[in-house]
Structure 1
Amino acid sequence: MNKDINIGAVRKNCYRQSKVDGEFMLQMRVPGGVIKAEYLKMAAEIADRWGDGNFHMGTRQTLDFTGIKYEDIDEVNKYIRTYIEGTEGEAGVDMDKVAGKPEQWDPEAGYPTIGARNVTACIGNVHCICGNVNTQDVAKKVEKLVFPSNYHIKCNVSGCPNDCNKANMCDFGIIGIAKIDFHPERCIGCGKCVAVCKHGATRVLSGTPNGIPAKDDCCCTGCGECVRFCPTGAWTRNPKKFYRVIIGGRTGRQTPRAGKVFLNWASEEVVMGALANWQKFSAWALDYKPMYLHGGHLIDRAGYMKFKEMILDGVKLNPECLVAERINWSETEYRSNFSVKAPADHLTAGPGSQDSH
């Protein structure tokens, strides 16, 4: 059955086109990956009444409902009003504002925009013994800054450098790190911290003749593994929270790549200040014409130096914060006339150091 459907408008409304003509998948946001269990009752109702009885846990921690007919979208949008107002309100989002401008949100029209993408987070230190920060709290603060928006960004929050939430593979990744304080009077010289740092971290700890560990601070990732394994509490996390920010990572069939460190030992105020400039930077990079293009590509388009200038505009850095002077990516190049019989040294190298890649 052929239908005259504006796919772009439906997609902006958070419905994804299906292989079945006239059927769509609704993607409902879950800021920070955690919602109240009571909302699952609504999820079951949506799946059973309008969908095909299933829902998919989206790769960006969304609740995805397949099999929704185009003619039912208006009714579904009216039903999810409570969900949107509840989940976004709990994240501090003012649904009367779109992209920072006072425009009226129609409560019965569903999501006003698909951007930014759902802000994801691991469970963080509310549960995980490795977590350095409350990831859900951070994600909700990010949600308030980037959604709703017609400019796109993928933002992941990980509670520690284990990076279970893949902050290294998105436009703007946030990783909780810890400054570690040492209390020598508690140390018994057991060497457990040295062993765990050697086995699972960056090997910045080493033993000494008197048994007290020595530390090379230059390469500490702030993971906190020494704190976890110390039996006497000689290592403790400093109460002040710090973050590492990764930019420009992405998946995709054409130019996938891991991100690079942009900020290290940044305070929460610095991270949120940078994200508050995201829409301004995106608008400039796209000549104020919103399109479906994610943040890593915008950084490539603008060049790192311009990105750094705009994203840190007005942001007061904390004394500990380090900012990358320059970031260079090297993409893989392919020859269209490459022969499988050619020797390996015929493969061309990457383009070298360029700010815009």
Structure 2
Amino acid sequence: MNHDINITKLKLNCFRQSKVPGEFMLQMRVPGGLIDAKYISVIQEIAEKWGNGTFHIGMRQTLNAPGIKYENIDAVNSFIQQYIKDIEIDLCNADMESNSAGYPTIGARNITSCIGNSHCIKANVNTWELARKLEKEIFPSHYHIKMSISGCPNDCGKGHFNDFGIIGVTKPIYLKDRCIGCGRCVKVCEHSATRVLKLVNNRIEKDTCCCVGCGECVEACPASAWVRPEQKLYRVILGGRTGKQYPRMGKMFLNWVTEDVVVAVIKNWQTFSANVLHHKPIYIHGGHLIDRAGYQKFKEIILDGVKLNPEAQVAQRILWAETEYRANINVKPLSQHPSSGEPYTPKSSNE
């Protein structure tokens, strides 16, 4: 392999190294996972002209072209200049220029989302529209962040395994004069949600404490006695991640917040990252950054200047549960401390 190739620089340029020396894979960003079909021809031409004739739909909804030779990277970057302008600048309003150098960074990962309420009957919010609004707040930036948006608490976007998982929720309105007392909403809540509804004298009573805002009752009702309000609300899941050493599922950070709150919170992410990393961006999961700072410090910075809506709830404390793998398991059993041999419980990331 040519040792003069700067792999780190190419990675920032959204090219991933291949096992084949001198070959790379382009990752074209698709914020929110939805673009006009005409752009499929862009990845097709790249794959057929400079790649190996295939393209891969990336795990973060990017359009990837493997098999690109190092000597063709400049030509590919020049070719995608118009695509970057169309998507990042014109569509997402990102504060950047489009030129023949290609993507300026890969720090903030492509925001993923399910199709949302532009198609899905269960979705409470328009996911890809929100993804495009948030894209301009995090890209371009060298500070690492992974974000996913789901239209309902089914969380098809796997927000529970991202730095930020944003989930559309709703507070359905019950119009009792329309209710025919069939009990279908009660049954669907028992089967699919949190069993907060019951039928009393042919009318519905609701225990609001445990409603997760899924909106299943709205879909189940044949008389439209349950309706979604016009106001869109969100739940924000924090600190989830996959990984070899410390995988964990995220926990609820915010609940019943408006889109304005979500956008304002994400605007503060770069400030928080710079604070923890002393203005020196490195590749590190958002969850690890939060662990370094402590949850209370994170909350202080990330909510700075954010005006919470009246319904909003904020977690006062988060206790994450994670799997902790240790390299010396052949020396000491996992039930013993690796140095003292005393009974040992792996430490969770608390605040």
Moved over 6 A (4+): none
Alignment of 1:151 with 2:143, yes or no, is yes
- Give the AA of the match of 2:20: V
CA distance in 2, matches of 1:249, 1:204: 27
Partner residue in 2 for 1:42: 42
Alignment of 1:331 with 2:327, yes or no, is no
Partner residue in 2 for 1:198: 190
Residue 234 of structure 1: which of 225, 234, 241 is its match?
Answer: 225
**Offset of residue 287 of structure 1:** 1.0
Deviation string 1:252-300 (CA, Å, 9 cap, x unpaired) is 1111111000000001111100001010001111111011112111111
Assess, with a 3 A threshold, how the Cα gap between structure 1 residues 256 and 341 changes in structure 2: closer, same or farther: closer
Assess, with a 3 A threshold, how the Cα gap between structure 1 residues 340 and 238 changes in structure 2: closer, same or farther: closer
Residue 180 of structure 2: which of 152, 169, 188 is its match?
Answer: 188
Partner residue in 2 for 1:260: 251
Assess, with a 3 A threshold, how the Cα gap between structure 1 residues 251 and 353 changes in structure 2: closer, same or farther: closer
**Offset of residue 341 of structure 1:** 12
Alignment of 1:300 with 2:287, yes or no, is no
Q: Any conservation in 1 of the 2:144–2:285 contact (CA below 8 Å)?
A: yes
**Secondary structure of the equivalent of 1:292?**
coil
TM-score by length of 1: 0.92
CA distance in 2, matches of 1:339, 1:352: 18
**Secondary structure of the equivalent of 1:38?**
helix
Alignment of 1:281 with 2:272, yes or no, is yes
Partner residue in 1 for 2:84: 84
Partner residue in 1 for 2:262: 271
Q: Any conservation in 2 of the 1:153–1:295 contact (CA below 8 Å)?
A: yes
CA distance in 2, matches of 1:3, 1:18: 14
CA distance in 2, matches of 1:289, 1:340: 36
Partner residue in 1 for 2:130: 138
- Give the AA of the match of 2:346: G
Assess, with a 3 A threshold, how the Cα gap between structure 1 residues 14 and 216 changes in structure 2: closer, same or farther: same
Deviation string 1:30-61 (CA, Å, 9 cap, x unpaired) is 01101111111111110011000000000000
- Give the AA of the match of 1:81: Q
Partner residue in 2 for 1:101: none
Alignment of 1:32 with 2:28, yes or no, is no
CA distance in 2, matches of 1:113, 1:88: 12
**Secondary structure of the equivalent of 2:224?**
coil
Assess, with a 3 A threshold, how the Cα gap between structure 1 residues 16 and 180 changes in structure 2: closer, same or farther: same
Matched residues, number: 343
**Offset of residue 340 of structure 1:** 9.6
CA distance in 1, matches of 2:266, 2:247: 23
- Percent identical: 59
**Secondary structure of the equivalent of 1:113?**
coil
- Give the AA of the match of 1:117: R
Assess, with a 3 A threshold, how the Cα gap between structure 1 residues 52 and 214 changes in structure 2: closer, same or farther: same
Partner residue in 1 for 2:66: 66
CA distance in 1, matches of 2:112, 2:349: 31
CA distance in 2, matches of 1:353, 1:30: 33
Assess, with a 3 A threshold, how the Cα gap between structure 1 residues 199 and 260 changes in structure 2: closer, same or farther: same
Partner residue in 2 for 1:102: none
**Offset of residue 4 of structure 1:** 1.5
**Offset of residue 339 of structure 1:** 4.8
Q: Any conservation in 1 of the 2:248–2:321 contact (CA below 8 Å)?
A: no
Residue 349 of structure 1: which of 322, 329, 345 is its match?
Answer: 345
Partner residue in 2 for 1:215: 206
Point out where structure 1 has 5 or more consecutive residues left out of the alignment: 97-104
TM-score by length of 2: 0.94
CA distance in 2, matches of 1:315, 1:182: 31
**Secondary structure of the equivalent of 1:186?**
coil
Point out where structure 2 has 5 or more consecutive residues left out of the alignment: 337-341
RMSD (Å) for aligned C-alpha atoms: 1.7
Partner residue in 1 for 2:303: 312
Deviation string 1:81-109 (CA, Å, 9 cap, x unpaired) is 0110011124333343xxxxxxxx46000
